[in-house]
Amino acid sequence: MGRIDKKQAILDTALTLFVSQGFYATSTASIAKQAGAATGTLFHHFSSKDELMNYLFLSIKQEFADAIQAQISQTDDLRADALHLWQVAIDWAMTNPLKQEFFQQYSMSPSIPAAIRQQAMNGILSFMGELIQHGQKTGELANYPLSLMQESCHGQFLAATRFFLDNPETWDDELHKQASFSMFWNAMKA
């Protein structure tokens, strides 16, 4: 197994253990052991468990953002574009339940420093802020402070994905799918 493979094994194992046991109950030794790596190898890649957590958080956020951005299709209909992105985002969550569980547990957790959460929101997910600002300029979205709007969108997404992960059969139901978007949209519209 090469260096990259060991690092990925450490990340995959950390993800599984953080979700199943929690951040504080998961030791670096248990991550290394289950990943088939020496503890020194883990510390070669990550100087601390906190650094590992932050790296994992940002890399999964980037994967999520890349998947969504690959599906962006901007038209002159902001609502239709938002609906499309909402569905792509929840589809990603349903396809990646372990990664979404990680977000459910850690997106608002003090285990993730505020600066890292801000980097995710304002850097990796900056396209969301741009869409909100565009909607505010056209008068389609409420003119609330951008950072508050972003947090509200994030909270709506976490609530919807929690529901759909707990009730996966409802994601295939058009009524539930449309209702989840309507609640999201109605929270933002002007």
Between 28 and 117, residue with greater pLDDT: 28
Confidence check: pLDDT of 126 > 90: no
Could you tell me which of 72, 65, 158 has the C-alpha nearest to residue 120? 65
pLDDT of residue 3: 58
The CATH number fitting domain 49-186, selected from 1.10.3720.10, 1.10.357.10, 3.40.50.920, 3.30.720.200: 1.10.357.10
Q: Specify whether domain 1-47 bears CATH 1.10.10.60.
A: yes
Task: Find the angle CA(54)-CA(61)-CA(104) to the nearest 5 degrees.
Answer: 80
pLDDT at 2 over 60: no
Mean pLDDT of 164-184: 95
- Name the token pair of 98: 């372990």
Asked if residue 34 has pLDDT above 90, the reply is: yes
Helix (H, G, I), strand (E, B) or coil at 79: helix
Vertex 156: Cα angle to 150 and 158 (nearest 5): 105
What average pLDDT does this structure show over 22-33? 92
pLDDT for 69 equals 83
Residue 94: is its pLDDT beyond 90? yes
Amino acid 142: pLDDT: 96
Cα-flanking dihedrals φ and ψ of residue 141, to 5°?
-115, 150
With cut-offs at 50, 70 and 90, classify the pLDDT of residue 119: confident
Domain ranges of the chain: 1-47, 49-186
Its pTM stands at 0.87
Name the pLDDT band for 187 (thresholds 50, 70, 90): very high
Q: Quick one: CA dihedral 103, 109, 113, 115, positive or negative?
A: positive
Query: Considering the chain, what is the average pLDDT of its residues?
Result: 90
In the block, tokens 């990550």 appear at 46
